[in-house]
Structure 1
Amino acid sequence: MTIEGWEQALGAGPLLLIAGLAIVALLFLIIKLRMHALLALILISLATAFATGIPADKVVSVLVGGFGSTLGTVALLVGLGAMLGRIVETSGGAKTLADYLINLFGEKRAPFALGVASLIFGFPIFFDAGLVVMLPVVFAVAHRLGGGVLRYGLPAAGAFSVMHIFLPPHPGPVAAATFFDANVGLVVIVGLIAAIPTWYVTAYLFGLWTGKKLVLPVPEILGRADAEAEANPPRFRTVVLLLLLPLVLIFLNTGLSTAASAGLLPETAKSETWYQVLRTIGETPVALLIAVLVAMFVLGRRRGTGAGALEKLLESSLGPVCSVILITGAGGMFGGVLRTSGIGKALADVLGDAGIPLILAGFLISAILRIAQGSATVALTTTAGLIAPAVALAGLNGMQVASLVIAVAAGSVVVSHVNDSGFWLVGRFFGMDVKTTLMTWTVMETLIGVMGFGIAAVVFAVAGAAG
């Protein structure tokens, strides 16, 4: 957020020092002093706001604004996703899917199967929405085969991440493509060239390797199926259609939006009632709500579960995720303070004058903005806006511009850490403490960004030589 009438007086050096000290202090409080993450995030956010000179009468509004804006997107999604996951898990539906995948691919290929399924689901679906829908299947496979949650969870989470980062219609690459006036079809091609090998190396192989070193228990956050449900599970087709339902609805939303932006629909379509209603149905919270209601009937009432038991089941799903929601919101609060302080803008101005190659500048500016303030979207859109004039004057061909989009997107994902709400979301869902999340999730996201940039740079160079 911006504060009317206030401008940051500190330069990039002091702001960077404050941000670095704040992150170190936060890690010290959580890892060494064992302070609860929610309290530590609020305390450090408050201290950082004062240290960066944010007016005292605006500090609380900045904290609450960052917290609330994050919760606005996370709370409903996680809450409804937990309800859906609890119904699918306790009805035996997750076990049905797990058994099918294991029978189809074999036990040794189960992590690969989960990753491929997540790549497919992740094409139209945002990272966090896809992850919460896929979690019960991941947990069920991990319960069935053993070996800890990371062996199965990281390939799946990494798949959703690479699709969200590199492929339209996700907002990051779409926004960068708009700034650079890139051909979206070429962005999809370069995005796929980057996403598939990047997932295989940095999520699948890394997940297998990490899963051997760190065997973490499977969290019980979504509950477990009882013996009666496991003895009489729902049909595979029923469960698949149920999980596809929110994904199809969300894809309807993004598909209509993309079609309208590409001029495939008449200009008057956006004002039509049918367009607005279909877009609303496809919004993530509404799509998940519809899926929960259908699941209540299909996996609940139709299978003999009483209304009272179903109500208690859904109620029990919310308690375990309250911590996830609040800590994720507090992570957004910390990131919001860093954004409001102006540290990102100061760093971008310094890097913008460094005189390094355009594609490397895009990656580095995006990466440093990401590390500084946590939001991948802010990092990507800010970077794209900064270098767009240079891109327009560089005389690049279509494939080179598309490669620039992917390079900037790659920078926006590296070093996911304590100021990123996604860091807390993944860490808490997988039952990891901060140190373990840094060793696994942060490393994986950094590898994804670096390898994705490397592939984009190669495509950029080859396209330039060919052009």
Structure 2
Amino acid sequence: MQELSASYLLCVAAVAVVLLLFMIMKLKIHAFISLIIISFLTSLAANTPLDKILGVMLGGFGSTLASVALLVGIGAMIGKILEVSGGAQVLADTLIEFFGVQRAPFALGLASLIFAFPIFFDAGLIVMLPVILSVAHKLKGSVLTYALPSVGAFSVMHVFLPPHPGPVAAAATIDANVGWVLILGLIIGLPTWYFSSYLFGLYSGKKMYFKAPDLFEDEKIEIKHKPKFLTVIFILLTPVVLIFISAIISSMQKLEIIAKNDICFNVLNLIGQTPIALMITLIICIIVFNKSLGAKNLEKYCEKALPAICSVVLVTGAGGMFGGVLRASGIGDALAGTLANLGIPVILAGFIIAAIIRIAQGSATVALTTTAGLMAPIIAANTSIAEFDKVAIVLAIACGSVVCSHFNDSGFWLVKGLFGLDEKTTLKTWTMLETLIGVIGFVFILIILALFNLVF
């Protein structure tokens, strides 16, 4: 197959995104159909062999569904049960009572920051979704006011902090201290969340009103015995604790602190895998609410939870297909390779290369790990780069990897579908929020690095 130039591949990616925008926003063709068509045309333009096009498309679609469909499906059932049982309302009322109506978005964001420490973005969002929607319904404000601080919290923690896979893999590749990545990630991540997600969420909610979708709405039922606040907290924290334990065990096994063949630790590691942790949480939900709702009603509510999220899952999978096609075309690698030879400062090069790969193929984790691999030989050859500099470079790459989420990012479609937004609004809010996280975080890194070098 003839090797294509970086400039040609860049044009292919740009034209693909423009065509996608035109089909969805102007021609009003459903996003699922548009993504499939553009993925196919992009494969052809990128000179993918005809006998491999379908495999590449299905590979991207299938890998995305494998990670998203189980989580969204199980999470929707948990959300439905918490909604009809009154559990989500209890938690929403408690948060509002404790923090006050004006601080409800901050309360949701704070809770999301805590939940997000061990849990991945999509799983955490699903766990918090019924609470976010309940608060939005109760206070009758724009769903953006309550959703953006929460989704921003999960995004910040997922990109900046171990034990999430991106920063862990990047730190290992660049040989940076994971402990310092965690500490500096927290120092940078918290103020970045405040400016990019909380304040931006308040601003967006004032500018654009979107009613919270009735994702878990059902026929009106009279709830005689609402669950206690601690019961709801126990259910929501169950997957967080299980996933956190699994992350600790995995880290200790990699460091050979505990044996990799220890059956007890391996069992704990297994049940802490995100889909299994959520399934255990669903089972606990069914057991806890069996007496108040009844087994027959629980089965009915679980069944009714699925149709509402089918469109979200399929469109998210199609977004993964588009991202997979762009990855297979080599667009991100070609552009990153060209940029790496320009001789710009290492920390800035890491940010820009990660941003380009992110825009080109969609996945923040792929952008983070790929850029770390490209930068590692440069960092290893430069003896003037200190240990703290390596930590800063890892986080600079993380900042670049989160910017400009758009149609090739499954997270874009997940946020759009779950909160009932249109494509234009999602670009104005979610895409802007992700870009703010990257840019503000990078500015904080440069400031801290300058202060560190000044003092030491």
Q: In the alignment, which of 154, 158, 163 is matched to residue 164 of structure 1? A: 158
Check conservation: 1:374, 1:417, Cα contact below 8 A. yes
Alignment of 1:50-449 (within 5 A): 50-223=44-217, 226-229=220-223, 231-263=224-256, 265-266=257-258, 269-299=259-289, 301-303=290-292, 305-394=293-382, 395-449=384-438
Q: Please tell me the residue identity of whatever aligns with 1:260.
A: Q
d(CA) in 1 for partners of 2:365 and 2:159? 10
Greater CA drift, 203-212 or 141-150: 141-150
Q: Please tell me the residue identity of whatever aligns with 1:379.
A: A
- Residue number in structure 2 paired with 1:3: none
Gaps of 5+ in 1: 1-6
d(CA) in 2 for partners of 1:158 and 1:261? 30
Q: Please tell me the residue identity of whatever aligns with 1:403.
A: A
Q: Please tell me the residue identity of whatever aligns with 1:292.
A: L
Q: Secondary structure at the match of 1:228?
A: coil
**In the TM superposition, what whole-angstrom CA distance separates every residue of 1:415-441 from its partner, at most 9, and x where no partner exists?**
000010110001110101111100000
Check conservation: 1:187, 1:405, Cα contact below 8 A. yes
d(CA) in 2 for partners of 1:38 and 1:291? 31
Deviation at 1:276, TM superposition (A): 1.9
Deviation at 1:182, TM superposition (A): 0.9
Residues 225 and 278 (structure 1), Cα distance of their counterparts in 2 relative to 1, 3 Å cut: farther
Q: In the alignment, which of 12, 24, 27 is matched to residue 30 of structure 1? A: 24
d(CA) in 2 for partners of 1:443 and 1:330? 22
Q: Secondary structure at the match of 1:271?
A: coil
Q: Please tell me the residue identity of whatever aligns with 2:277.
A: A
Residues 253 and 415 (structure 1), Cα distance of their counterparts in 2 relative to 1, 3 Å cut: same
**In the TM superposition, what whole-angstrom CA distance separates every residue of 1:25-48 from its partner, at most 9, and x where no partner exists?**
011000001001000000000011
- Residue number in structure 1 paired with 2:11: 17
d(CA) in 1 for partners of 2:296 and 2:103? 40
Deviation at 1:312, TM superposition (A): 1.1
Q: Please tell me the residue identity of whatever aligns with 2:404.
A: V
Normalising by structure 2, we get a TM-score of: 0.98
Deviation at 1:255, TM superposition (A): 1.3
d(CA) in 2 for partners of 1:341 and 1:140? 43
Gaps of 5+ in 2: none
Check conservation: 1:400, 1:459, Cα contact below 8 A. no
Greater CA drift, 331-340 or 452-461: 452-461
d(CA) in 2 for partners of 1:389 and 1:44? 36
Q: Which runs of 4+ in 1 moved over 4 A?
A: none
Q: Please tell me the residue identity of whatever aligns with 2:270.
A: T
**In the TM superposition, what whole-angstrom CA distance separates every residue of 1:434-455 from its partner, at most 9, and x where no partner exists?**
1110000000000000011111
Identity among equivalent positions (%) equals: 56
**In the TM superposition, what whole-angstrom CA distance separates every residue of 1:102-147 from its partner, at most 9, and x where no partner exists?**
1100110000011011111111111111110001111111111111
Residues 139 and 76 (structure 1), Cα distance of their counterparts in 2 relative to 1, 3 Å cut: same
Deviation at 1:462, TM superposition (A): 2.5
**RMSD of aligned alpha carbons:** 1.2
Q: Secondary structure at the match of 2:222?
A: helix
Q: Secondary structure at the match of 2:3?
A: coil
**In the TM superposition, what whole-angstrom CA distance separates every residue of 1:382-402 from its partner, at most 9, and x where no partner exists?**
110111122223332222211
d(CA) in 2 for partners of 1:122 and 1:8? 44
- Residue number in structure 2 paired with 1:459: 448
Q: Please tell me the residue identity of whatever aligns with 1:446.
A: T
Q: Secondary structure at the match of 1:270?
A: coil
